[in-house]
C-alpha cells in the first residue's frame, strides 16, 4: 500500500520544505501560497500541470537552433556542448516561463536532473552536443510519467537508454559486437542502473569470484551479448518511433543486424523464469528474424526481454527507490527503513507500472516526509546538504533574480547560465563531468553521499558566492539589491530588526520553529536564541555606531534616513544568515 499521507494543511515551514526539495527553490510569495494547501493539493499543482516544452537551444551569435548541427563554422562542437549545459541550467531557473507555471516547470526539471544523476553522462567521453541534448530530452519525456501512456515508465526508459547515443558512447556500447563483446554497459546496467548490489552498508560478504550477491558474472556476459550490435549514430537521423528522439543505429542493416549475437543467452540462477522455474534464457523471437538473420527489431526485442527480466526482481525496484529517497529525503537508509518505507515505495512503483512520478508524489505527500516538523527531534527538515546547483539556482529563485529569456536575449541567457556553471564548478560540481560512470559522488558514494559537497575550499567558495551577490561593493555578475528586496518582500516586519531576522530565518533556513531571542525561552526553538542574537549583532553592530542599535535601525528604515548605513547593515545581515552551515541545508 502507499505510504500513509499527511492530511493537514502544510503551513509555512512544511510548504517551504516541500518546495525546496521538490523543485529548485521558491520565492516567499510562492511558499506563502502553498502554506494554505494540503500536500495532496500541493503535489497536484506541482506535478499535474500542462507544461510547455523548453524553447529550442539557439546559438547566441547566429540566433539559429543548433540541435540539427553546427550553425557557425568558426565554432567547435565543444562550444555547443557548453551551450547545452547552459540551456539545461536555464530550464532549472524556469527562464522565460509563465510565472504561474514556474514551480511546476522547476519540479519537472528537478526530476530530469534526478534521471541525469541516475543514468550518468560524462561530457568529455561522450563529446557530442547533440547526443547530450537528445538524451536530456529523453529524460524530460519520461520525467512526468503518471498521466502518460502506459509505455512511458522507468522500465521503458531503461530500454531506451540502452540504445541511446550518449550512453552507447559513454560505456562503449558502440564497441560491443558479436564475437568481441564489450561488457562495460552490461555491468553498469546491473550494478548502477537497475538491480544494484543490495542495501549499502548492509552488504553480505561476496560468496565467491564472479558472484555479486544479486547478479553474477555470467549475467554480465550474457547481457553484453544481448546488447551487441549497436553503434553511435553521428547523423542523428535514426529516430525512435515511440519518442521521435534520435537513438543509436544497428550495425549492418535493419534486416541484417550482422554484429548482433543471435545465439541464446543463458543467465544464472539469480534470475529464475517463473514460467519454467529455470534460469532465464533470452533468445530471438523467430517471427522478428529475417530468415536466420537478426534484425533491428529482433535485437531490440532481446533488449526488452533483458530489461523485463531485471525489473521482475524486487531488488531492482528497491535499488531505484533508494536512489529516489536519497535524492528527495535523506541519504541514510537503515534496514528498518529499508524494510518499511523503501519496501512500500517499491510496491507503489510496481503497482503503477514502473512509473516514478506516483512514487515521488506519494513520498512528498507522506507523513514520513514531514515527520516531526514541529519539534526539535526533526530528522527530515534540513537533512540534505544542497548541491552547488541547488544552492545557486535556489538562491536566485528565492530572490526572483531576472534571468533573460533565451527566445528574446540568448546572449544574456547564456551569460547568466554560464556564470552559474562556473560557480558550481568552483563549489565542487563540474556539471556533466563527474569523476566516473557512477556519477556525482553525492548521489551514490556510501557512506559520504551529500557530505562530499563540503570541504574547506568548497565551503569558502559557497560563502564567497553569497558575499559577492548581496554586497554592492563586491565584484560579481549575479547581484541582488537587498534594500529593494526587503522593501518589496518584508516591508511589514522590516522596522523591527528582530522581526525581520525571524522572518528571514523562516524563509532562508530549513528549520525555524518557535523562534525567540530570549535564551530562557528557547527550549522548543529549532534555532537557539544565541544564534538569533548572533545574527542581530552582525546586523546592527558591525561596527557598532549607535547607543541603541535597534531603535536607530527603526528610525533609519522608517524615515528613509542614512540609506548607505541601511544598505550596509542589510548586507551584513544577509551575509551573516546565508554564509552559515544552516543555509547549506534544505
- In this structure, how many other beta carbons lie within 10 angstroms of the beta carbon of residue 373? 18
291: CB partners within 8 A, 6+ apart: none
What integer pLDDT is reported at residue 379 of this predicted model?
Answer: 61
Any bridge partners for residue 366, and if so which? Answer: 5
User: pTM of whole model > 0.75?
Assistant: yes
Helices (H), 366-439: 388-398, 410-426
CA distance 289 to 404: 53
Residue 337 · residue 201 · CB < 8 Å: no
CA angle centred on 411, ends 142 and 478, rounded to 5° = 85
What integer pLDDT is reported at residue 378 of this predicted model?
Answer: 45
What is the full per-residue pLDDT of the chain (586 aa) written as tens digits?
789 999 999 999 999 999 999 999 999 999 999 999 999 999 999 999 999 999 999 999 999 999 998 889 999 999 999 999 999 999 999 999 999 999 999 999 999 999 999 999 999 999 999 999 999 999 999 999 998 888 999 999 999 999 999 999 999 999 999 999 999 999 999 999 999 999 998 877 767 889 999 999 999 999 999 999 999 999 999 999 999 999 999 999 999 999 999 999 999 999 999 999 999 999 999 999 999 999 999 999 999 999 999 999 999 999 999 999 999 999 999 999 999 999 999 999 999 999 999 999 999 999 999 974 344 344 688 889 999 999 999 999 999 999 999 999 999 999 999 999 999 999 999 999 999 999 999 999 999 999 999 999 999 999 999 999 999 989 889 999 999 999 999 999 999 999 999 999 999 999 888 999 999 999 999 999 999 999 999 999 999 999 999 999 999 999 999 999 999 999 999 999 999 999 999 9
- Here the cell at position 583 is 543555509
Q: What secondary structure does DSSP assign to 202-240, as a single string?
A: -PPPP-STTB-SSSBHHHHHHHHHHTTTEE--TT---B-
CA distance 274 to 283: 17
Residue 577 · residue 535 · CB < 8 Å: yes
CA distance 544 to 532: 17
Whether the bond into 99 is cis, omega within 30 of 0: no
C-alpha dist (Å) from residue 255 to 53, 216, 250, 259, 294 = 35, 33, 10, 12, 7
Helix (H, G, I), strand (E, B), or coil: what is residue 192? Answer: helix
CA distance 207 to 161: 31
Strands 281-282 and 272-273: unpaired
Residue 556 · residue 550 · CB < 8 Å: no
CA distance 276 to 285: 18
Amino acid at each position: 500500500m502507499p505510504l500513509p499521507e499527511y492530511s493537514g494543511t502544510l503551513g509555512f515551514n512544511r510548504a517551504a520544505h516541500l518546495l525546496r526539495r521538490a523543485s529548485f527553490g521558491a520565492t516567499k510569495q510562492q511558499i506563502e501560497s502553498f502554506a494554505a494547501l494540503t500536500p495532496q493539493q500541493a503535489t497536484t499543482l506541482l506535478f499535474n500541470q500542462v507544461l510547455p516544452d523548453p524553447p529550442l537551444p539557439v546559438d547566441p551569435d547566429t540566433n539559429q537552433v543548433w540541435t540539427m548541427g553546427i550553425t557557425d563554422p568558426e565554432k567547435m562542437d565543444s562550444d555547443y556542448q557548453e551551450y547545452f549545459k547552459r540551456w539545461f541550467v536555464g530550464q532549472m531557473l524556469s527562464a522565460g516561463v509563465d510565472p504561474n507555471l514556474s514551480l511546476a516547470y522547476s519540479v519537472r526539471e528537478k526530476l530530469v536532473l534526478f534521471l541525469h544523476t541516475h543514468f550518468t553522462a560524462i561530457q568529455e567521453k561522450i563529446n557530442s552536443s547533440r547526443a547530450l541534448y537528445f538524451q536530456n530530452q529523453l529524460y524530460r519525456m519520461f520525467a512526468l510519467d503518471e498521466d502518460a501512456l502506459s509505455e512511458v515508465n522507468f522500465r521503458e526508459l531503461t530500454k531506451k537508454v540502452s540504445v541511446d547515443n550518449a550512453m552507447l558512447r559513454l560505456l562503449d556500447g558502440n564497441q560491443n559486437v558479436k564475437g568481441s563483446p564489450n561488457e562495460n554497459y552490461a555491468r553498469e546496467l546491473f550494478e548502477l542502473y537497475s538491480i544494484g548490489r543490495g542495501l549499502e552498508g548492509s552488504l553480505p560478504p561476496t560468496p565467491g569470484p564472479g558472484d555479486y550477491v544479486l547478479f553474477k558474472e555470467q549475467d554480465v556476459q550474457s547481457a553484453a551479448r544481448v546488447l551487441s550490435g549497436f553503434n553511435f549514430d553521428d547523423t542523428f537521423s535514426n529516430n525512435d518511433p515511440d519518442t521521435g528522439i534520435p537513438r543509436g543505429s544497428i550495425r549492418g542493416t535493419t534486416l541484417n543486424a550482422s554484429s548482433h549475437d543471435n545465439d541464446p543467452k543463458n543467465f544464472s540462477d539469480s534470475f529464475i523464469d517463473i514460467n519454467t522455474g529455470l534460469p532465464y534464457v533470452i533468445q530471438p523471437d523467430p517471427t522478428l528474424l529475417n530468415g536466420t538473420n537478426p534484425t533491428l527489431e529482433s535485437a531490440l526485442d532481446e533488449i526488452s526481454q533483458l530489461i523485463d527480466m531485471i525489473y521482475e526482481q524486487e531488488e531492482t525496484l528497491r535499488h531505484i527507490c533508494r536512489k529516489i529517497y536519497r535524492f528527495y529525503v535523506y541519504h541514510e537508509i537503515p534496514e528498518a527503513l529499508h524494510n518499511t518505507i523503501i519496501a512500500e515505495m517499491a510496491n507503489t512503483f510496481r503497482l503503477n507500472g514502473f512509473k516514478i512520478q506516483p512514487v515521488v508524489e506519494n513520498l512528498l505527500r507522506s507523513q514520513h516526509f514531514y515527520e516531526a516538523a514541529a519539534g526539535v527531534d526533526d530528522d527530515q527538515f534540513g537533512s540534505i546538504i544542497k548541491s552547488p546547483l541547488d544552492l545557486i539556482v535556489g538562491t536566485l529563485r528565492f530572490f526572483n533574480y531576472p534571468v533573460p529569456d533565451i527566445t528574446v536575449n540568448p546572449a544574456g541567457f547564456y551569460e547568466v547560465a554560464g556564470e552559474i556553471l562556473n560557480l558550481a564548478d568552483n563549489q565542487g560540481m563540474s556539471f556533466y563531468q563527474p569523476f566516473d560512470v557512477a556519477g556525482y559522488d553525492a548521489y551514490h558514494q556510501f557512506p559520504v553521499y551529500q557530505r562530499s559537497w563540503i570541504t574547506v575550499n568548497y565551503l569558502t567558495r559557497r560563502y564567497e558566492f553569497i558575499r559577492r551577490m548581496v554586497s554592492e561593493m563586491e565584484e560579481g555578475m549575479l547581484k541582488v539589491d537587498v534594500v529593494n528586496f526587503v522593501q518589496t518582500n518584508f516591508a511589514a516586519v522590516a522596522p523591527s530588526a528582530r522581526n525581520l531576522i525571524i522572518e528571514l530565518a523562516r524563509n532562508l533556513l530549513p528549520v525555524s520553529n518557535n523562534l525567540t531571542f530570549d535564551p530562557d525561552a528557547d527550549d522548543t526553538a529549532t534555532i537557539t536564541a544565541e544564534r538569533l542574537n548572533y545574527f542581530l549583532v552582525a546586523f546592527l553592530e558591525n561596527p557598532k555606531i549607535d547607543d541603541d542599535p535597534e531603535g536607530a535601525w527603526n528610525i533609519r528604515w522608517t524615515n528613509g534616513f542614512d540609506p548607505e548605513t541601511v544598505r550596509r547593515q542589510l548586507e551584513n545581515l544577509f551575509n551573516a544568515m546565508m554564509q552559515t552551515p544552516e543555509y547549506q541545508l534544505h
